[in-house]
A and B are shown apart, each in its own frame.
Chain A
Amino acid sequence: MLTYLLRRELLMIPTLLGITVLVFSVMAMSPGGISAQTLIGGMDMKPQEKQALLDYYNKRYGLDQPAPVQYLRWLNNVSPIGFVTDAQGQRGEFSFSKGMDLGTSFQYGRPVADILAERIPITLLLNLVTLPFTYIIAIMVGMKAATQRGSAFDVGAGVSMLALWSIPTMLAGVLLLGFFANIQHFQWFPTAGISSREAQDMPFLPHWDAGGFVRGFLLDRIWHLILPVICLSYGGFAALAKLTRTSILENLHADYARTARAKGLAENDVLWKHVFRNSLLPLITVSAGLLPSLLAGSLIVENIFSINGMGQLAVEAVKGRDRELVLSITWISGFLTLIGYLIADFCYTLADPRVSYD
């Protein structure tokens, strides 16, 4: 198992390198390219200041050098082992502990690592809240459809799940926002952000005090998350419910299930302890593929609901042609996806003892 995991991690390295090469070459080949014009605040700077900043970036990132050199320089800065570079871009000696430097955002003029540290937790929170919902609803619906195969519920669920799956996230987002968060219709939910300003000073749990009911930080957060989470989850559970249904149907008539029934086990026990456990494998395989789609989905959802997560940052970064940010974001989302696949493989062995990786 350990050797397997190790091998998997080693195979991740060429993939991660490939991702950066791909994105870097896209940016290098683009007409216009990365130039000083895309630097921060170009408009309200004096010419000398602009020139100084340009010189700084040229030195720091070698923007005036050919693309392969730029790439190697970037790679050296990012990788945890490599040559030490100082603020002038001069190369020092080789080091194993120089740490990673994701560079400075051209657009915001702040270190990329700082920006990402603010944004990633928000996107992760959004996705980690979504996942259990997706699975719970999918399993409930899929189970009911499979056990009542051919019934009205089964047929209805089949069509409506395909329909749900076809609803574009942006349409769902815009409709939910328009009808349930807008003053014109039902103003039940907040329109933007993941917490309101007052909530920062509130205690964590909801409670009553002199002024009446206080929402508390937790409830406020949940209140803000409801609409985005609905948008993120419906597509996933529609696909998963269909999968659960086929997978359970396959096992429902297997010999072991009949044996269990013949032994006199209650139908519920047969279903949940025997059939369900054996139907888990395909659900786990898909969970790995769910992560990239969730990341991409949060890109749209964050834009609609004005949540300052990584997705919104990605759109701003590519619109601003902010090379350092774009590279870091694609790199990290690729990394997260790979980790997702790894965890899925690991869960495989947990769900099915027959699977081993030695």
Chain B
Amino acid sequence: MTKPVISRESFSARIWRKTLAGVGVKFGFAWVALLVFCAVFAPFLANSMPLLMSRDGVISAPVLEYLSVEDAWILTSFFIALAVYRLKVGGGKQILLFLLGSALAAVLVNSFVKPPVLVIYDDFRSTAYTQVDWKIMPPIPYAPVDYLRDLGSKGLEAPFTTEGHTHWMGTEENGADVLSRMIHACRISLSIGLIASGIALAIGIVVGGLMGYFSGIVDMLGMRLVEIFEDIPTLFLLLTFVAFFGRSLYMMMVIIGVTGWSGYARYVRQEFLKLRNQDYVQAAVASGLPLTSILFRHMLSNGVAPLLVAVSFGVAGAILSEATLSFLGLGVVDAPSWGAMLDQAVKSSTFNWWMAVFPGGSIFMTVFAYNLIGEAFRDAIDPRLSDKAGVKS
């Protein structure tokens, strides 16, 4: 007989430990971390202007001068997130602090950062920037919207075709560097994935929670609503929404969120139907707690662990949705996007392999990474499943 092991490890700590045990999930987190790094430091990784240069003894940092409001906000938010993570306060408070901090940063950045309205990239290759004592260029010396007109770019060139300027991943149809665009596109993918599935999750939890808690007529009406959103293939629904509501990035996030909540709602409903008859819920009802407290403080915290699985698959789905829309030509105009770049792979009957392999590959890797994370979460949360799969706990 085996001895029972008494462990002081909390539930969430155990889930984390089990999740991180696999090899695949480590790769998944590493890839996502790489994306975050690229998204935050994009202007320093790929830009046309020098990071630092000295001209006639005066040292300047052109990158900083040309930093856009968005860039500055993302950078400050990233450092606020780091600082909040180091603080010793509860998880909920950390999130609140971070949101407050980044909102404050948004206000400050909006009022203080004033980048030049017009950026002429050709200037950075003129004598003012080339005849210097010394300069440090970013690793990829091309901005995502630097169309290399002064270098006589013909667009859509395979990697390493032209002498003189190196494009690791070739150029796209307007002549911009593909690698640079890919780095800046991390932002769109990451933010869409997180915010859209956040919106979907919020709607799903509220609708599903109400359905599961009240059941009866509320459940029936709610189920019809869920069915409506489920029965139209999501892509059709998404296409309709996007085509009729314009194509700004924020609109896309909202739209992908609004069309993607039905799965979460079903999930939460099921959990809540199971939970509503438990003693502690009955006790909470009997002590006259307000509904929001019963639903979100008591029931949700007990049903949230399995939801993590759905969320990590959901993020993958949202990223895929954005890429698909951009691929079909309904994405954000003029912003670098992996999906839109993939669309240029087959243009006018020539096959540009670099436009398929690199952007397509990164869509695949991102989706794969999130799926691996979701899979690992599921195995960690449901030991029955993981035992069956032959994974040791």
Contacts and interface: CB of A to CB of B under 8 A. Distances in A.
21 contacts: A14-B224, A15-B227, A22-B228, A26-B245, A27-B240, A154-B390, A158-B389, A163-B368, A165-B371, A168-B320, A170-B339, A171-B342, A250-B388, A296-B233, A296-B234, A315-B239, A321-B243, A321-B244, A330-B240, A337-B232, A337-B233
Interface of B: 24, 224-225, 227-237, 239-246, 316, 320, 323-324, 327-330, 339, 342, 345-346, 349-351, 353, 356-357, 360-361, 363-364, 367-368, 371-372, 375, 385, 388-390
Interface string A307-326: 00000001100110100001
A330 B364 contact: no
Interface in A11-37: 14-15, 18-19, 22-23, 26-27, 29-31
Given A22-B228, A30-B245, A162-B368, A333 B233 contact: yes
Interface stretch (A43-51, A92-100, A174-182, A262-270): A174-182
Listed from nearest, the 9 A-B pairs whose CB atoms lie closest are: A30-B244, A171-B360, A178-B351, A318-B243, A296-B235, A166-B368, A296-B233, A18-B228, A292-B233
A292 B323 contact: no
A105 to B, nearest CB: 15
B22 to A, nearest CB: 11
A298 B324 CA distance: 12
Contacts of B228: 15, 18-19, 22, 334
A318 B237 CA distance: 10
Contacts of A259: none
Given A177-B346, A300-B328, A168 B232 contact: no
Given A178-B345, A246-B388, A168 B240 contact: no
B390 A149 contact: yes
Interface string A228-270: 0000000000000000001001100000000000000000000
A150 interface: yes
Contacts of A29: 244
Query: Is the interface on chain A under 10, 10 to 19, 20 to 34, or 35 or more residues?
Result: 35 or more
A178 B367 contact: no
Contacts of B350: 182, 184
A168 B346 contact: no
Interface string A271-306: 000000000000000000000110110011001100
Contacts of B246: 31
Contact of B245 (A31, A168, A171, A174): A31
| Residue among B232, B237, B367 facing the most chain A CB atoms (10 A cut-off) | B232
Interface string A31-65: 10000000000000000000000000000000000
A93 to B, nearest CB: 32
B353 A178 contact: yes
Contacts of B349: 182-183, 191
A168 B351 contact: no
A333 B241 contact: no
A177 B235 CA distance: 22
